[in-house]
Structure 1
């Protein structure tokens, strides 16, 4: 597959051979825009196999479309949003059309304005809106070639957009050597070698004379039909070498052989031509002004550099581009180091330090032959700017290079610790360990050694929950006290959170809590961190009643926690709201923590924060949002290699009542977590089992699981399992067990005084009460839980009240409560509890009717359609819904048309009639 260029010799008019099926796929993708739809395709295959040629075919075939093109550049992989800027630059005049938050996000990441790091998903939504807006004039074709070299920040955003394109008349094509993690799950087309007949035809087009049949077969076989190899490998070989096949006796890899073929031909160019190619290879933007500016500094003139064959390799138009990416890599990698340094220095000298300081710093670093403090300082400043734009991977790369160029050992230790920390947050644990070791080796005093120890401790924790991390972090905190009390306090809190995740009430947690309690009182008004430390210490060393007043103060202060603090220890502070049973604060606080962590691209912390968010959202019964969070946890965990327990999935499967899925995951989690000593995982699994079996009406099994869970004396989950234990024990006839559990529940819930805490307590106490007292407690539970967003808990309160009324022979009243419970369970998706309510309704003599929305084909709505319908019913506009759900307004409108058709309605207002009031819109994410 290769479109030959005029003047290339014999075979110059060979067309795009043997790619009929591939061209057909591309034609179908392009045709989709005629129906107002969008398409995404990842074209992947080995170097030289023809990906770029197929993308070029798409560009030529995209008649009437606006073509945007970006190319990943290997030397630019560390610069945040570099490829995204390439792609979006022609559309920046449309930024004023975007909503203000989205416009600000793009302007910040592109360096147009200063500001705090924008939330990565907001950047993605802004790009989606930008493409959607531009496609209203005419359809768009967006081509991203060499995606394997796209910087991480850009790839995250572009893949986010790719997964949400639907009705915008946008085609997004990727070209990549391999299926990268960021592109997994997108539609793909693998390009392999040409069929033998086509390969022979292509080979004949570039060979002179008659080849021995065995030699021809060997060439085709060894190249595996790779078009570029077939075109390039014979070049430079004599007729004799080709005829005998001796010129092919090389053992290096195919890409290497192709590059060698390029270099052998480039070697015949004049010196100035070769130097121009090297300058173009080292300048990633393709800016002719920069290329020729650097060329001038090195004495290269256009007249001499372009005199003999240079244009065969290089296109010098609006942008300087190579005819094939392997030419760039071949030229750059084969250049002597001295030549590379000279070229990068010349490029640095012509790069404006005000307009593009980071790229200038990178060129200076590449030009440095030895440690250079001035260049190291430039890189350090670039790292700070990268962090401000949300590019943690870029910040890590700048700092890593900064360490290599630092002269002074003490400064090297400081910078190595910073590089290790940034590298850890970017998700590269092995590299983080290397720089932590450098920091330790170069440490000049105890404080620097402690900092290295601290980073190592955090790496140990990030590598997977294990028993080593808490004592390491405790030791680090204690060693930090004489040098930096603020950092010591932060480290104590992280140590506490790590220990609580692993094994609550373990020796480590008790030791950490005791050390926290012994910390000297802060001077002046306690800060948020001080309140959280004190509250958690009291929770372990004394009681919940002693801790709640302090934790309530902490909770109020946490609402204004700066993003900097969120990134450091926000994930530990998430539990404050759970400790005081405040469900609304839990969702707000955890959501804000996730937002801050996402915005900074702190991937190692993100799965833990998302787990807290998933649990918080699951409490509300929004299962679609919970499932989306589970998917994101899995994606991030896979990308970083950081294992994360399936706590949210356990919770969701238990609430849904899907027995087979839930039981398999419960068993696997108990086995894995138990083997690793992670009692939190065992606790969550047993809690899930208790909920599952209570829903299924298998109360003995629920009782057994709840007893195991509550015996672990964990700080939150074991407390949440107490209502499950009460319900299961009462239904199993174990009233004494239920009474003991109620005492524990009252001790945990009463000091908090929230509707969640007191509502669940009233519901549990009602199970052991009789007569008017029982009825009053049931009604109190419904009233209190009805003031919360905890729909599953409210539905269960109606169920228990209905069951009590039926057993008290109050059938009419029982039907009302059971019908309400049944309808709520069905709307939420709690299948097992819905069936339990259904059985109770049948026992009252009522035949159960389906909900009105189901009769009107509500079940035909997809989860996303239902979510959009609910938000429309709330009065949100299409742009507002798009912002909330990370969709373009045009895609929202497309979904809305389908919703109207499915529900047989014609207006937004009619949604209020066909959607029942019990439905609950998705919590904003």
Structure 2
């Protein structure tokens, strides 16, 4: 730990200093660098940050330190870090400029896309590094607001070619950040060795120190530099030299108490100014001076604090150590804290920064204050436009607490609970619901509370955490909540029925009757609507009909609902988008699959990701991303699907949700790796049983059938598919029937195959889409006689070729080639088997590729096993960038689409040109590549 204003050597930090020197020395030639330092309070992280700044000669430096009191203000930390760089704001593309302006409160506009804000920060850092490298130092990252640290984590993962260094310092004991900054390079900062600790302690001792006392201090501080440096200030000299020290003031917590005692010795007016500085995380000296004037304290009162090494007054108010700031704030009594917050609220211009003013006014309140609560409520909607739902939830929570009017308190608590739930903060949501229930609630409010509790129970159940109730229990609660809402608020009732249908869908075979009960209740709720026009009403009618009567009876209502939804979404109808978020699991996982509508499948996932990112609805973002990954699996784009699933897992971990297995197990099955897929299938079966989530059992059975059909282990494929088809899991039931038919034909179970094809006819056969009809034709071909089979295979290839379901197209080529070979039509067989082999190899479907290779070998054609990845091939991201460049997108447009910077696009393209032997974008159109 370096003393403020001094530059002593960092004893015992040779390894850490070497790491930091290497970090900044290699940036010019090797692109970016990122490092996360972790360690306990006082262990020397701040000193190491000061060291890396000193080593970064020729760098532009931007710094920010997280402040505990500022954690609730969205983008506050990021704004502080980027403030010196905003001169480069006009270099950003207009959408990024607008997003960052709204996020930083510099402009007005719709809620900015959270990932667009991340890309804007990435572009801003890259622009600032154009002239010279940029070093960004983030101290006490655990105290940054959640949105800022998530954005910086996003940026850190996408830095590549830019001459930018990001160094974070994170204090131990804040595990919540483990999900925000995982996978980044880390440096663990431990206490000093005994020898270095002894030298450091002796270097700051003015008088002597008994050797036994010294060794005990070294042992008990565990080499913590700050604790050692504070010994002379906290332990009487007589105790140190006399050998009778009792041991106090040494742990980081005790060091903070030492700071408290030091502050308490200062004059009263000085303590007020120190507290004022601690309460204002911006460190703005102008604001500080105005607030000091409102307190009636002159600036000269700060001199004793500077002399005592507590604070430094300059272009920014700077504390000796972050622990001093927290010590100053915690040492003050509640009345003094309220006074300084009141002074800051008065000093802040309400036109320039109304939300920070409202926040300080809230901290200044001595009790319920409806005026301040109203300000906070108004600020919540502005906060949502910048930082999303989590930011709004924070302001609403404080507004509820400060509301004197019981009705307003209850309403705000319920609104805050709903926002906390959407922001993936269930514990806070439960507390707010308890607060609401302390008041006299109207019948509607009681029903709203019941619905929220049911929603959270559903999330808890699907999370698979110890003690979570089975999913079917949440389905019953949602059905009951919807029934209570019917006579109070028909719109909320419809929304709740949609959620009840989703919960019942996930329970599926664990409680088969739940879906029918939910469907019949939903049908009764909309029965009185003569001509439904809202998409949610039409969807409820369609879903109820689908469950009770089948696809052919429901298809018209379902298509009408989807058309209405698309019209509302295109008009940016916020209510329709909210309904879309509620209905998304049903629409994507059941309706799109049951209708065999690939474009709908893709569009729903894309719209949902856009909605979740734009609003910061982290609770639904991982599922939306995984659904998009599922679309890419069907297209045979396994690399892209894997990347999206990894992103979804990262977000899930960050918000404390259990990563979903659905599309992960599906992808592993299509890839054909028995070890990986087998483990995931087994885990999915176990988890589905434990949670009572029957749908997970169904998808695991489907995945097992795909895996074993690919491996030509048809008996096992038949057993898995037969078990999975015992229940009609909406969405992928038809896919499983196709696996069942193929496996049954292979093992001679013709009756089983015929039954599967009959059942497939009522779904895929009634869909009217090329995807559905193509799959149905392929299934019929398995059982048809020679003349009909040939025509059906051709029909399947023609229809699937017009769809984007490339995995099924490749499967049809494979089946057709196998059928032709068994009829001795080797030339024709080779044609289709080669197509299948090339498609599966490009996709990365190893088992099916090997099955095609064996069939080709049986025709007499020599085929070598091809590695899926070669050193000469483009990486997945290089291939993606090359394709977009070939299609005419500019580097800026490519960066915006892939959430990477323009520098990184250029860097990748240079490598693409070398690998492909081309010199220009135009030449990209003349070559082909694989990844």
- Offset at residue 399 of structure 1 (A): 1.8
Matches of 2:203 and 2:885, distance apart in 1 = 62
Q: What does residue 755 of structure 1 align with?
A: 770
For the Cα contact (< 8 Å) 1:552–1:580, is it kept in 2? Answer: no
Superposition pairs of residues 429-828 of structure 1, within 5 angstroms: 429-465=426-462, 466-503=471-508, 506-519=512-525, 520-522=527-529, 525-559=532-566, 560-561=568-569, 562=574, 563-574=577-588, 575-828=590-843
1:41 counterpart SS class: strand
RMSD: 2.0
**Kindly tell me: are residues 176 and 673 of structure 1, through their superposed partners in 2, closer, same or farther at Cα, counting changes over 3 Å?**
same
Q: What does residue 356 of structure 1 align with?
A: 353
Q: Normalization by structure 2: what TM-score?
A: 0.95
1:464 counterpart SS class: helix
- Offset at residue 872 of structure 1 (A): 2.8
For the Cα contact (< 8 Å) 2:69–2:281, is it kept in 1? Answer: yes
1:463 counterpart SS class: helix
- Offset at residue 702 of structure 1 (A): 0.9
Point out where structure 1 has 5 or more consecutive residues left out of the alignment: 7-12, 921-925
For the Cα contact (< 8 Å) 1:555–1:577, is it kept in 2? Answer: no
**Kindly tell me: are residues 253 and 761 of structure 1, through their superposed partners in 2, closer, same or farther at Cα, counting changes over 3 Å?**
farther
Q: What does residue 292 of structure 1 align with?
A: 289
**Kindly tell me: are residues 177 and 532 of structure 1, through their superposed partners in 2, closer, same or farther at Cα, counting changes over 3 Å?**
same
Q: What does residue 116 of structure 1 align with?
A: 110
Matches of 1:869 and 1:627, distance apart in 2 = 19
1:444 counterpart SS class: coil
Is the deviation greater in 347-356 or in 89-98? 89-98
For the Cα contact (< 8 Å) 2:139–2:168, is it kept in 1? Answer: yes
Matches of 2:160 and 2:694, distance apart in 1 = 44
Residue 99 (structure 1) aligned with residue 114 (structure 2)? no
Q: What does residue 218 of structure 1 align with?
A: 216
Match of 1:277 among 274, 278, 281: 274
Q: Deviations over 1:567-605 (max 9, x none)?
A: 444343324322211111111111111221122222222
Match of 1:152 among 124, 146, 156: 146
**Kindly tell me: are residues 271 and 530 of structure 1, through their superposed partners in 2, closer, same or farther at Cα, counting changes over 3 Å?**
same
- Offset at residue 350 of structure 1 (A): 0.7
For the Cα contact (< 8 Å) 2:275–2:340, is it kept in 1? Answer: yes
Is the deviation greater in 704-713 or in 561-570? 561-570
**Kindly tell me: are residues 593 and 649 of structure 1, through their superposed partners in 2, closer, same or farther at Cα, counting changes over 3 Å?**
same
Q: What does residue 70 of structure 1 align with?
A: 64
1:280 counterpart SS class: helix
- Offset at residue 373 of structure 1 (A): 0.8
For the Cα contact (< 8 Å) 1:273–1:304, is it kept in 2? Answer: yes
Matches of 1:323 and 1:127, distance apart in 2 = 29
Q: What does residue 266 of structure 1 align with?
A: 263
Is the deviation greater in 161-170 or in 609-618? 609-618
Q: Normalization by structure 1: what TM-score?
A: 0.95
Matches of 1:523 and 1:730, distance apart in 2 = 49
Report the number of matched residues.
Answer: 909
Q: What does residue 9 of structure 1 align with?
A: none
Matches of 1:529 and 1:615, distance apart in 2 = 24
**Kindly tell me: are residues 318 and 568 of structure 1, through their superposed partners in 2, closer, same or farther at Cα, counting changes over 3 Å?**
farther
Q: What does residue 31 of structure 1 align with?
A: 25
Q: Deviations over 1:212-242 (max 9, x none)?
A: 1110011111111111111113214332132
- Offset at residue 37 of structure 1 (A): 0.7
2:766 counterpart SS class: coil
**Kindly tell me: are residues 438 and 291 of structure 1, through their superposed partners in 2, closer, same or farther at Cα, counting changes over 3 Å?**
same
Q: What does residue 466 of structure 2 align with?
A: none
Q: What does residue 120 of structure 2 align with?
A: 126
**Kindly tell me: are residues 725 and 25 of structure 1, through their superposed partners in 2, closer, same or farther at Cα, counting changes over 3 Å?**
same
- Offset at residue 913 of structure 1 (A): 4.2
Residue 86 (structure 1) aligned with residue 92 (structure 2)? no
- Offset at residue 534 of structure 1 (A): 0.7
Matches of 1:827 and 1:312, distance apart in 2 = 65
Match of 1:879 among 870, 881, 892: 892
Point out where structure 2 has 5 or more consecutive residues left out of the alignment: 463-470
- Offset at residue 817 of structure 1 (A): 0.8
- Offset at residue 780 of structure 1 (A): 0.7
Q: Deviations over 1:857-883 (max 9, x none)?
A: 566432222322333333333222222
**Kindly tell me: are residues 318 and 599 of structure 1, through their superposed partners in 2, closer, same or farther at Cα, counting changes over 3 Å?**
same
Matches of 2:305 and 2:781, distance apart in 1 = 93
For the Cα contact (< 8 Å) 1:426–1:602, is it kept in 2? Answer: yes
For the Cα contact (< 8 Å) 2:483–2:493, is it kept in 1? Answer: yes
For the Cα contact (< 8 Å) 1:566–1:597, is it kept in 2? Answer: no
- Offset at residue 801 of structure 1 (A): 1.2
Is the deviation greater in 462-471 or in 450-459? 462-471
Is the deviation greater in 871-880 or in 491-500? 871-880
For the Cα contact (< 8 Å) 1:386–1:395, is it kept in 2? Answer: yes
- Offset at residue 617 of structure 1 (A): 2.0
For the Cα contact (< 8 Å) 2:640–2:876, is it kept in 1? Answer: no
**Kindly tell me: are residues 260 and 137 of structure 1, through their superposed partners in 2, closer, same or farther at Cα, counting changes over 3 Å?**
same
Matches of 1:735 and 1:308, distance apart in 2 = 89
Matches of 2:687 and 2:591, distance apart in 1 = 28
Q: Deviations over 1:715-762 (max 9, x none)?
A: 222221111111111111111111111111011123220000000001
For the Cα contact (< 8 Å) 1:706–1:722, is it kept in 2? Answer: yes
- Offset at residue 359 of structure 1 (A): 1.0
2:165 counterpart SS class: strand
Q: What does residue 10 of structure 1 align with?
A: none
For the Cα contact (< 8 Å) 1:390–1:599, is it kept in 2? Answer: no
For the Cα contact (< 8 Å) 2:213–2:245, is it kept in 1? Answer: no
Matches of 2:523 and 2:250, distance apart in 1 = 62
Is the deviation greater in 637-646 or in 663-672? 637-646
- Offset at residue 644 of structure 1 (A): 4.0
Is the deviation greater in 276-285 or in 623-632? 623-632
Matches of 1:910 and 1:791, distance apart in 2 = 27
1:721 counterpart SS class: helix
Matches of 1:289 and 1:310, distance apart in 2 = 21
**Kindly tell me: are residues 110 and 58 of structure 1, through their superposed partners in 2, closer, same or farther at Cα, counting changes over 3 Å?**
same
Q: What does residue 923 of structure 1 align with?
A: none
2:795 counterpart SS class: helix
Is the deviation greater in 825-834 or in 413-422? 413-422
Q: Deviations over 1:615-674 (max 9, x none)?
A: 222111111121112212222222222224311111111100111111111112112212
Q: What does residue 341 of structure 1 align with?
A: 338
Residue 900 (structure 1) aligned with residue 913 (structure 2)? yes
**Kindly tell me: are residues 365 and 534 of structure 1, through their superposed partners in 2, closer, same or farther at Cα, counting changes over 3 Å?**
same
**Kindly tell me: are residues 104 and 509 of structure 1, through their superposed partners in 2, closer, same or farther at Cα, counting changes over 3 Å?**
same
**Kindly tell me: are residues 741 and 391 of structure 1, through their superposed partners in 2, closer, same or farther at Cα, counting changes over 3 Å?**
same
For the Cα contact (< 8 Å) 1:50–1:227, is it kept in 2? Answer: yes
Q: What does residue 889 of structure 1 align with?
A: 902
- Offset at residue 95 of structure 1 (A): 2.3
Q: What does residue 159 of structure 2 align with?
A: 165
For the Cα contact (< 8 Å) 1:610–1:629, is it kept in 2? Answer: yes
For the Cα contact (< 8 Å) 2:461–2:691, is it kept in 1? Answer: no
- Offset at residue 902 of structure 1 (A): 3.2
Q: Deviations over 1:815-858 (max 9, x none)?
A: 1111111111101111100011101111111112688x989x56
Matches of 1:409 and 1:246, distance apart in 2 = 60
